[in-house]
Amino acid sequence: MEEIQILNQEGFQVFKTLGQGAFGRVFLSYNKDIGLIAAKVMQSKVFDENEWDAAGRLQQGEPIPFIVQFKSAKNFGEYVVILMEFANLKSLDNIIKKNYALTPGTLRAIARQLFEGLRLIHSRGLVHRDIKGENLMMHCPPGSNRVIVKIADFGLVKLQGGGVQQTMLMSGQWELCYSNLLDMNIQQKRLQFQIYKNQCGRGKLSVQNLLLTTYSGIY
């Protein structure tokens, strides 16, 4: 497989495939200088440098603990390799599909981290636009005995700009569209209120309700 050969030539040992799509794959890899990493190998023709620019904006200022951190990107002609932080637990989507029973306290912790991650993303002038279970990763820092929610996949991110937003497209072109999003502060309050309402009305908050609440607050 050509993607694995590229990683091997760069000094990475590939353990397994973490995920794949129409235009690329993500591999769990190891490098003695970097450590364990998620290496996304995608076709150059669909790589959007604007997505990388958005990643750079997210790295400015204080680190955001609730997003998957980007490390570096390199073009190899036909392919581009993006190195990202490896989230070592399953995604929230896996929890939903397995129908795990989580305590209200655990769900509140997930919600708090997700909302804080969104708030910090918004504070950098960006809107994620693709919040779903598959893009919410769980990570346990070694030796910490803690679980952190990590927001991943910024391929559909929007840049805010007054009343107009710029949408990042896979083609690399900019499409201007008028924002129909709520003010970010109001949006956060709405999300919190809906979660509180679900908790009071049903006695507990399911993972499905958590995601539905998030969707309804963003769009």
Both tokens of residue 214? 């998030």
In this structure, are residues 96 and 53 in contact, taking their beta carbons and an 8 Å threshold? no
Cα–Cα nearest to 68, from 37, 98, 112: 37
How far apart are the C-alpha atoms of 6 and 117, rounded to whole Å?
33
User: From the annotation, which residues make up the binding site for ATP?
Assistant: 40
- Rounded to a whole number of angstroms, the CA Rg of the chain reads 18
Q: How many CA atoms lie within 13 A of 99 on its CB side?
A: 0
Binding site feature residues: 40
What one-character DSSP code corresponds to residue 32?
T
| Cβ partners under 8 Å of residue 140, min gap 6 | 88, 89, 146, 147, 148
DSSP reduced 3-state for 66: coil
Angle between helices 184-202 and 207-218 (to 10 degrees): 150
